[in-house]
Chain A
Amino acid sequence: MEYGIVAGLLVVSTLLGLVWKSRQGRVVAQSGSTISLDYRETRKTTILQFTTEMCAPCAQLKPRLEKIANFRSDVAYRDIDAVEHLDLANRLSIRSTPTTLIVSPDGEIRARINGIATAETFINAIEGTIPTRSVTATEETVI
Chain B
Amino acid sequence: MSKPTGIDPRGPRFGATITAVLLLVDVFISIPLATAPINVEAPGYVLLVVLSGIFLWGAVGGVQQSPYGLFFAKFIRPRLKAPEFVESPAGPTFSQAVGFLVTITGVVLYLAGIPAAVPVAAAIAFVAAFLNSAFGFCLGCEIYLLFAKRGITFGLEKPGTPRTVRVGSDHNI
Contact = CB atoms under 8 A, between A and B. Distances in A.
Interface residues of B, number: 52
B68 interface: no
Interface in B2-50: 6, 9, 12, 24, 27-29, 31-32
B136 A84 contact: no
B145 A56 contact: no
Given A9-B27, A54-B94, A97-B145, A83 B131 contact: no
Interface in A64-98: 66, 69-70, 76-87, 89-90, 94-98
A32 interface: no
B88 A56 contact: yes
A2 B94 CA distance: 31
A16 interface: yes
Contact of B12 (A38, A55, A56, A80): A56
Contacts of B94: 54
A70 B31 CA distance: 55
Contact of A20 (B137, B157, B167): B137
A98 B141 contact: yes
Contacts of B144: 52-55, 83, 97
Contacts of A13: 126-127, 130-131, 134
Contact of A97 (B126, B131, B141): B141
Contacts of B149: 86, 89-90
Interface in B57-109: 84-88, 90-92, 94
B87 A5 contact: no
Nearest to A64: B85
Contacts of B126: 9, 13
Interface string B133-173: 01111101110111011000100110111111111110001
B85 A63 contact: yes
Contact of B85 (A59, A83, A87): A59
B123 interface: yes
A43 interface: no
Interface string A46-65: 00000011111111100100
B140 A55 contact: yes
B135 A21 contact: yes
Those 5 A-B pairs whose CB atoms lie nearest each other, nearest first: A54-B140, A54-B144, A17-B135, A56-B91, A56-B87
17 contacts: A12-B127, A14-B134, A17-B137, A38-B173, A52-B145, A52-B157, A53-B88, A53-B90, A54-B144, A56-B9, A63-B85, A66-B169, A76-B167, A76-B168, A77-B168, A79-B166, A90-B149
Interface of B: 6, 9, 12, 24, 27-29, 31-32, 84-88, 90-92, 94, 119, 123, 126-127, 130-131, 134-138, 140-142, 144-146, 148-149, 153, 156-157, 159-169, 173
